[in-house]
Amino acid sequence: MRLSYDPIYNSGITGLILTTVVIALLFRIMPIGVSRRRRRILLALRGVAALTLVLAMLRPSFVRTDNRPDTATLAIAFDSSRSMTLASGDPSAPTDATSTAETEGISGGENRWQQQRRALESLTTGLSSLDGNLNLALYRFDSVSDQFVGGSIVEVSKSLASLQSFEPDGRQTNLSAPLESALATSRSTPLAGIVLLSDGTQTMMGETGQTIDPVSSAKWVAAIGVPLWTVALGPTALSGRNRDVAISSLPETFRMFTGNETGISFEIQTRGYEGTPIELTMMWIDDTGRQSIAATRTIVPDHDVHREPMQVPVIAPEPGQYRLIVGARSPAGETDITNDQQLSFVDVRAGGGRVLYLEGTPRLEQRYLRRALRRFPDLELTYRWIPRDTSSRWPIDLTDDLQPGQFDVIILGDLHSAAVGDEQLERIAGLVAEGTALLTLGGERAYGPGGYANTPLAKTFPVQMDEGASQRPGVMPENLSGEAGDDVLLPGQLAGPVPLRIATPHPITNIDVDASLSASEEWSALPDMPGANELAGAKVAPGVQVLLDNGTAVPMMVVGEFGQGRVASLAFDSTWIWWTSGASEFHRRFWRQLMLWLLSREESTDGELELALTRQRLSTTETSVFTATQVGGDPTASNSGSWTAEIVSDSGERRPVKISTTSKSGGGRTRTEATGEISGNAAGTRDDSGPDGLPPGIYQLQVTLDNQGSETAVAVKPFQVVDDTRELAARNADHALLDRLALMTEASGGEAFRADQIPELITRIETQRRRTERVVIEKWRLGDNPLSGWIVFALFAGCLCGEWTLRRRWGLA
């Protein structure tokens, strides 16, 4: 501790001069005729006031310098999953500890939970000698994490006694959970570090069925400079005792189309089989139980621990419901074969569609149209951009694309007819006559402005075109350069805004996004088109219909047929504004229904029962919510119906499921829904005996709607309940994973320890705390706090007031 001064104005000379002047004035001015005694009293009072003033001007300070660690919280997470009931494999453990170790066949007198309790007690006892600026936050975790207790080291040590009656019952282990909980704590309190006690058996599965990798969470811990200290519990995994092959990450469901090729993605993980060939088989199983090989592969792991993502193409079989099983032939020495295969449910439907999109100007419309079409798994889109500045080389060669049977739909965008040429347009007309569908879109070089009125393709159009609106290929009108301006109306165009209104009801325009609105109301709610092509009118021919107009009988969308093919002509080219204005679902459904109509595959869900599950592959610890929906045109049809839901096992046993129903009418249509929940045998109740729980196996959910006076609607969806005994199957702890997590924070001081290395861990934490020490300067200065300030003021003012009072009393004032 040292004494220092902070004179006013930060100048000692100024402070000294002012002090001298004030003292001189106090002692210089003295009344005449004062007795010696009274003079001494007055001078004493003035002297005390002067001394007080000198202190106030010089502001003396006491400064103390010390090294102290920052105030921080040490997060300690302990594992409360069921794998903690397995044997610890620690031969040095107390022999009188009660455990299931003997039944597990592993040496050691205690289980992992008891081993963990001992480690926690040793850790908190050792930490009690550290600085008082360190607090503890104790977390328990299994599939999720929550704070068990928090506070000073002494308080946390006392609370550990409650763990005596605590039973680890978590059915899954998620090592990411405690790390994320600790990171959340660090937002309000600095973290001194994270201590993670576990056997390292990561069993938590994600939405895709893949094991969650805690490495990403450890990266976040490392990113903020917090050390992670792992304490590995349980027996060390031995390569000879821990050999495994596992199939994971196979999607729950697929929708395929007969004859189409689909890539099946999954992951194979091996341990202990370096250099050993592993045979993989993909097998179809239809609804009758008949099996057929879809594909086979062989891999050779190049490391002891090997992980390899796979994508195997398969050809979809005949339409129907299938199970696709991806499995590995169990190699010699594998102890756990429950994860050697994984199942996916496949809905194979008839046919698909191949679309050729010819575009001239790369507009926003083509971007959003391509995005919409590529969302449909049954459509294969081929996009050909023919730039306007290549007109000197027109017509381009489309011989390969215009082969018979090559494409099912041809889309003509904003493309001048000269880019394709009369010969190839005649070929397209022939393809349409033979069954290929044709879709024409609006644009500056579409219809009349694109010169199509005088081409061989004009006979296929369901609309009439203005020959006089034809523009030269590759160039803009003389008064324009580049793209058309907003204030210039090109020949054959309508100025916006152009509303779209239903002229004739049709499956294409019955979008049904909002059941409370009619089809006409839904179209009226859309933003108007910024412009459109001015069509001369619809042709008078069988099958030609004007589906949309602008409200004044000017055709905006016309459909018809030419030979065996269907044709649709749209005068507009800005449906992208539906997407950007929030009607993306309307945009998607419009293009979907238009494509299906062109392919002669109109979808009508009226009266059909649609069934969806949030999960079709669930473990015994999970639940899956199902929703059955029926949309009908009769507002009274579904209201009087009777709903039932049953779960049917492979043996034919039926189990009823509770459901709740809702009904909503609007726009002349009714949407009725029934919802319910199915669960594994451990998800219904804690003791695994819940009546709603299902043991592992393959099941079918059957939902029935019995409408009075109409046909009964039935929907069936298969699902699988998988066994989640991976927690109890993890007899050998995964210390390597814990070591890897700690190593990721090595730069911050992270390190891996074993259960018998708690003293070394305490030393490591103490060393880390010393590294965070910083110089703390404590300074006490006169007048900085209210008490000293008021004392100085009272002393100075009191002395002067007392001196003045005495002079008044003695008649000296």
| Measured distance CA(134)–CA(769) in Å, rounded | 9
> Tell me, what's the pLDDT at 667?
54
Checking if the pLDDT of 369 tops 80, the result is: yes
Higher per-residue pLDDT: 618 or 558: 558
> Tell me, what's the pLDDT at 558?
96
Checking if the pLDDT of 425 tops 60, the result is: yes
> Rounded mean pLDDT of the chain?
82
pLDDT tens-place string over residues 488-540: 677 888 988 999 999 999 989 988 787 778 888 899 999 999 999 999 899 98
The hierarchical CATH code for the domain 609-727 is: 2.60.40.3880
Report residue 102's pLDDT band, with 50, 70 and 90 as the boundaries.
very low
> Tell me, what's the pLDDT at 809?
82
| Dihedrals phi, psi of 369, to nearest 5 degrees | -65, -45
Query: What would the mean pLDDT of 361-384 be, rounded to a whole number?
Result: 85
The hierarchical CATH code for the domain 71-237+732-771 is: 3.40.50.410
CA 162 to mean position of chain CA atoms: 37
The CB-side HSE value for 577 (13 A sphere, CA atoms) comes to 14
725 token code pair? 């005994």
Task: Return all residues near 397 (Cβ < 8 A) that are at least 6 apart.
Answer: none
pLDDT tens-place string over residues 325-357: 999 988 876 756 778 899 999 988 876 788 999
Query: What would the mean pLDDT of 231-235 be, rounded to a whole number?
Result: 88
643 token code pair? 């709903």
Examine residue 505 and say whether the peptide bond preceding it is cis (omega within 30 degrees of 0).
Answer: no
| Measured distance CA(292)–CA(755) in Å, rounded | 51
| Measured distance CA(813)–CA(810) in Å, rounded | 8
Return the H-helix or E-strand segment holding 632.
strand 623-632
Report residue 713's pLDDT band, with 50, 70 and 90 as the boundaries.
confident
| Measured distance CA(320)–CA(257) in Å, rounded | 10
Strand partners, 111: 87
**40-49, 376-385, 713-722: which is most confident:** 713-722
Question: Which range, of 160-164, 224-228, 229-233, 472-476, averages the lowest pLDDT?
Answer: 472-476
Query: What would the mean pLDDT of 417-443 be, rounded to a whole number?
Result: 94
| Measured distance CA(345)–CA(619) in Å, rounded | 16
> Tell me, what's the pLDDT at 196?
95
Report residue 548's pLDDT band, with 50, 70 and 90 as the boundaries.
very high
> Tell me, what's the pLDDT at 685?
37
Return the H-helix or E-strand segment holding 694.
strand 693-694
pLDDT tens-place string over residues 245-289: 889 889 988 888 777 778 899 999 998 888 999 999 999 999 888
Tell me the three state secondary structure of residue 243.
Answer: coil
| Measured distance CA(53)–CA(42) in Å, rounded | 16
> Tell me, what's the pLDDT at 481?
38
Tell me the three state secondary structure of residue 446.
Answer: coil
* Residue 747 to residues 227, 235, 441, 771, Cα–Cα distance (Å): 8, 28, 60, 13
May I ask the CATH class of domain 244-349? mainly beta
What's the whole-model pTM score?
Answer: 0.48
211 burial type by CB count under 10 A (0-12 exposed, 13-18 middle, 19+ buried): middle
CA dihedral for 574, 580, 583, 584, sign (positive or negative): positive
> 108's torsion region: left (phi>0), alpha (psi -120 to 50) or beta?
left
Centre a 10 Å sphere on the Cβ of residue 108 and count the other Cβ atoms it contains.
Answer: 23
> Tell me, what's the pLDDT at 342?
92
Instruction: Encode 6-59 in three state secondary structure.
Output: CCHHHCHHHHHHHHHHHHHHHHHCCCCCCCHHHHHHHHHHHHHHHHHHHHHHHC
| Measured distance CA(146)–CA(138) in Å, rounded | 9
Report residue 575's pLDDT band, with 50, 70 and 90 as the boundaries.
very high
* Residue 235 to residues 102, 111, 305, 731, Cα–Cα distance (Å): 14, 10, 18, 8
According to CATH, the topology of domain 353-598 is Rossmann fold (3.40.50)
Angle at which helices 735-743 and 215-223 pack, to 10 degrees? Answer: 30
> Tell me, what's the pLDDT at 482?
39
| Measured distance CA(691)–CA(584) in Å, rounded | 42
Tell me the three state secondary structure of residue 490.
Answer: coil
Report residue 93's pLDDT band, with 50, 70 and 90 as the boundaries.
low
Percentage of the chain modeled with pLDDT above 70 = 84
**DSSP assignment of 323-377, as one string?**
EEEEEEPPPTT-S--TTSEEEEEEEEES--EEEEEEESS--HHHHHHHHHHTT-T
> Tell me, what's the pLDDT at 670?
75
> Tell me, what's the pLDDT at 692?
54
Higher per-residue pLDDT: 762 or 787: 762
Q: How far apart are the first and last CA of the chain?
A: 46
Strand partners, 405: none
> Tell me, what's the pLDDT at 106?
36
733 burial type by CB count under 10 A (0-12 exposed, 13-18 middle, 19+ buried): buried
448 token code pair? 């009349």
Eight-class DSSP state of 456: G
> Tell me, what's the pLDDT at 258?
79
Report residue 627's pLDDT band, with 50, 70 and 90 as the boundaries.
very high
pLDDT tens-place string over residues 461-502: 999 998 888 888 865 544 443 344 445 677 888 988 999 999
Return the H-helix or E-strand segment holding 524.
helix 519-524
Instruction: Encode 643-692 in three state secondary structure.
Output: EEEEEEECCCCEEECCEEEEEEEECCEEEEEEEEEEEECCCCCCCCCCCC
Examine residue 277 and say whether the peptide bond preceding it is cis (omega within 30 degrees of 0).
Answer: no
Higher per-residue pLDDT: 354 or 2: 354
Task: Return all residues near 763 (Cβ < 8 A) that are at least 6 apart.
Answer: none
pLDDT tens-place string over residues 152-196: 888 888 888 888 778 887 878 899 999 999 888 777 788 889 999
633 token code pair? 């045109």
pLDDT tens-place string over residues 672-709: 889 999 987 654 433 333 345 788 889 999 999 887 55
**Which residue, among 520, 391, 370, has the nearest Cα to 451 in the 3D structure?**
391
Percentage of the chain modeled with pLDDT above 90 = 35
Report residue 139's pLDDT band, with 50, 70 and 90 as the boundaries.
very high
Checking if the pLDDT of 121 tops 50, the result is: yes
